[in-house]
Structure 1
Amino acid sequence: MLSVVVIIIFIIQQSYPTYQLETIQAVLSSTVDLHCSVVNQNLESINPAKIVWIRDDQADIVSLDSVITVRDSRLSILTMDNNDRQERTLRIINIEEQDHGLYRCIQGDITLNEILLDVLIPPRIISHTPEHMHMTVREGRDAEFSCIATGHPTPTIIWHVNGLSRPGIVATIEGKNESVLILRNISRYDSGRVDCSASNTLSTVNRQFLLYVKYKPMVTVPFHLSYFRLYDSATITCQVCSIPSSTVFDIFRPKKAVPIKKGVKDQFEGFINETCRQLTKTIYLSHPSLFGPYVCRARNSLGVNHAEFIIKELNQSTKHMKSITERRPSSTLSTIINLSTPSIFTTTNDTQLKIVTTELIAQKNQAYGSSISVLLLIILCLL
């Protein structure tokens, strides 16, 4: 009797081999087949029951043999019967997120197969702050952004400011997969894009915020010191960058509240970019009073700033030594020395000094020669 029981158990084990839990991953909108088969050996005598598919997590009977028992047009049973084996494959098309779960194929009280269907879901950002996708903050204060993402596997959220990883405080709120970026003490150079990226094994999605940092005007001038001649036309340029745009932007004399008007021949103002402007003025320097210090001043709702520059007069008068046209014949070497005083060195260059010295020596030699000639004539007369 014992031997008969052992034989029956052996037959059952051969007809229904042991199974292992199988995991199948499927992407949203794809199609998946869940296979289940049974060997026909002694099928009728051992277990004539029909093959059934069950959804464990919902306690639903999905199919009975080849018939789908739930209202879902996406489900179907593929059957194959032959002398050796019966197969009942559960096909699910256009996979949805709710299809995730444990499926069991049974016959009577025997489990033939057990499959965990793991539905892979691309990342999706379902909420973000600010909602209108842009933020304006005053320079020196903090800016806070947040993103909540869903997907399977759980997405990883990373942040970039103007394409770079900027040091900041990133907090992750468990249970919601929410990431919060806090930028401390922001500056005008943080203005631009703030990107929130959520990634998993399937793909990456992004949300792009625009950050505007308000700051008082930043004024620059290309040249802080320029030289011009009297009656020249001086072209001067200054630039300002600010958010919000400057309400006052002009060139003034120091401590004056009204922009310069005297001598202005022409002026032009234009935008360099969204936040920067340039002012160019041409001043006709018709009077010495137009030389001196100037300031380029700009003001917006956050404050005032300025840059200073100076216009100086260019003097090119050259002092020339007067030519010596007449000298007394009795001029001596002391005359040359007296003429070659340090005052000459301070008013002429080396070349001019050499010319003057040569002329004086020549005149001295001429006077000396004339004296010798007169002396010889007197001697001859006496003889």
Structure 2
Amino acid sequence: MLSIVVIISILLIYQPYQTYQLETIEAALASTVELPCSVNQNIEPTNPAKIIWIRDDRADIVSLDSVITVRDRRLSIQTRTSIDREERVLRITNIEEQDHGLYRCVYGDITLNEILLDVLIPPRIISHSPEDMSLTVREGQDARFSCTASGRPTPVIVWQVNGLSRPTMITTIAGTNESILILRNASRFDSGRVDCSATNSLSTVNRQFLLHVKYKPTVTVPFHLSYFRLYDSTTITCRACAVPSPTIFDFFRPKHVEPIEHGIKDKFDEFINQTCRQLTITFYFSDPSFFGPYVCRARNSVGVSHAEFVLKELVQSTKHLKHITEHQPSTTPSIVTSTLSSVITNNDDSPERHIQYSYKSNTVVTGINAQTNRALQLSTSFLLLIGLLFITSRC
């Protein structure tokens, strides 16, 4: 019974040295850290020994009491002694990534302390695809980007396309911290910046890609039907947007290969922006054959597109107005003039279409000849004279 009590007492005395808790100390690169270790001087080990620091993952003895045993000027031992305790603090300056690991402080056969030195490392993007930071695909194809990042703590990778997050299109490969972004069925609106950002508690690092989505031209004209008179002039514009820029861009007659040449007074081609061109022409309708259907056609390496429009002839009308005039015999001619003028203007999203026609008709009514009037007056006087003579003879 006495022997059992002695064994329990010994276990209680040595318990603080036989049980210890793993401690984790975080340190950033280029910083300085101190790893503490102390021993109670009132406890004498069976075989007196010195305090030793050991790097477990390398099986290196770093120090023997207050002496550094490895060739590294960044390491030193800070000795601190008190009445009941003796300390050997391992100091590491200008922390490097290789300093990460498990350190143990032992005293004889007793482990006094065990510390995991966690060296914090800012994130780094160690590989990416495409390597030249630029990707070109056709509209409707998939666009694939990837980033692999390292750091401690493990960085979180976030993707953005033109400033917007696309989380549903991201895949992370476990164990490598590689993140893949796949834009399914890429459209022209995806063209622009694709950002890969890796972030941990220390900082954020970014890689910026450029995505170019090629698409065939989109061709537009402001109107599709317009009326003009023969010998009129008009200006027509056509806009084509595409990536890459159209190699063919001109006005054609349907089913014709060559651009139109006749009837054009002026032509002007300009770039509106990096993807859009505008072509402006001025037509002069000197011949009726210039009226009819036309197309504005644009072609690039992806495809060809066109927009149709029709120029129709406005035929002048010959309406007649009937004027009914009443007049009395007069020695002065009477002239009646009537004028009809009408202008129709169509205001819509297309360029102005003007239909203008005018009609003038003049009607001249001539009065009764003055000589005829005088003959009528003489006849009337003669008849009155005969009547008077007849009445006188009866009496």
Name 1:73's counterpart in structure 2: 73
State the AA in 2 paired with 1:21: L
State the AA in 2 paired with 1:29: A
Matched, 1:99 2:99: yes
Name 2:252's counterpart in structure 1: 252
State the AA in 1 paired with 2:42: Q
Deviation at 1:324, TM superposition (A): 3.0
State the AA in 2 paired with 1:311: L
1:39-88 Cα deviation digits (max 9, x unpaired): 33355x76642211111111111111222111112212222223332221
Greater strand fraction, Structure 1 or Structure 2:
2
Maintained 8 Å contact 1:168/1:184: no
Of 204-213 and 111-120, the range deviating more from structure 2: 204-213
Name 2:307's counterpart in structure 1: 307
Maintained 8 Å contact 2:159/2:167: no
1:215-269 Cα deviation digits (max 9, x unpaired): 2222112222345555443221111122232111011222222222223232221
- Judged with a 3 Å threshold, the aligned counterparts in structure 2 of structure 1 residues 301 and 55 are, in CA distance, closer, same or farther, namely same
Name 1:37's counterpart in structure 2: 38
- Could you tell me the TM-score, scaled by structure 1's length? 0.75
Name 1:267's counterpart in structure 2: 267
State the AA in 2 paired with 1:25: E
Name 1:25's counterpart in structure 2: 26
1:315-341 Cα deviation digits (max 9, x unpaired): 787957354334699xxxxxxxxxxxx
Q: SS in structure 1 opposite 2:164?
A: coil
- Judged with a 3 Å threshold, the aligned counterparts in structure 2 of structure 1 residues 99 and 316 are, in CA distance, closer, same or farther, namely farther
Maintained 8 Å contact 1:76/1:90: yes
How far apart, CA to CA, are the structure 1 residues paired with 2:108 and 2:42? 16
How far apart, CA to CA, are the structure 1 residues paired with 2:239 and 2:24? 66
How far apart, CA to CA, are the structure 1 residues paired with 2:293 and 2:305? 16
Once the two structures are superposed, the pairs formed by residues 147-158 of structure 1 within 5 Å of their partners are 147-158=147-158
Deviation at 1:103, TM superposition (A): 0.7
- Judged with a 3 Å threshold, the aligned counterparts in structure 2 of structure 1 residues 328 and 250 are, in CA distance, closer, same or farther, namely same
- Judged with a 3 Å threshold, the aligned counterparts in structure 2 of structure 1 residues 316 and 96 are, in CA distance, closer, same or farther, namely farther
1:95-125 Cα deviation digits (max 9, x unpaired): 2222111111111111111111112222211
- Judged with a 3 Å threshold, the aligned counterparts in structure 2 of structure 1 residues 254 and 46 are, in CA distance, closer, same or farther, namely same
Name 2:346's counterpart in structure 1: none
State the AA in 2 paired with 1:19: Y
Maintained 8 Å contact 1:170/1:179: yes
Q: SS in structure 2 opposite 1:126?
A: strand
How far apart, CA to CA, are the structure 2 residues paired with 1:167 and 1:123? 20
How far apart, CA to CA, are the structure 2 residues paired with 1:151 and 1:166? 24
Structure 2 residues not aligned, in runs of 5+: 330-341, 343-383, 388-395
Name 1:198's counterpart in structure 2: 198
Q: SS in structure 2 opposite 1:41?
A: coil
Structure 1 residues not aligned, in runs of 5+: 330-346, 348-377
How far apart, CA to CA, are the structure 2 residues paired with 1:270 and 1:327? 67
Once the two structures are superposed, the pairs formed by residues 1-383 of structure 1 within 5 Å of their partners are 16=17, 18-41=19-42, 48-166=48-166, 169-313=169-313, 321-326=321-326
How far apart, CA to CA, are the structure 1 residues paired with 2:49 and 2:200? 44
Query: C-alpha root-mean-square deviation of aligned residues, in Å?
Result: 3.3
State the AA in 2 paired with 1:70: V
Name 1:335's counterpart in structure 2: none
- Could you tell me the TM-score, scaled by structure 2's length? 0.73
How far apart, CA to CA, are the structure 2 residues paired with 1:181 and 1:130? 12
How far apart, CA to CA, are the structure 2 residues paired with 1:74 and 1:251? 78
Percent identity over the alignment is: 71
Deviation at 1:20, TM superposition (A): 1.6
1:301-359 Cα deviation digits (max 9, x unpaired): 23221011233456787957354334699xxxxxxxxxxxxxxxxx9xxxxxxxxxxxx
Greater helix fraction, Structure 1 or Structure 2:
1
State the AA in 1 paired with 2:21: Q
Of 106-115 and 235-244, the range deviating more from structure 2: 235-244
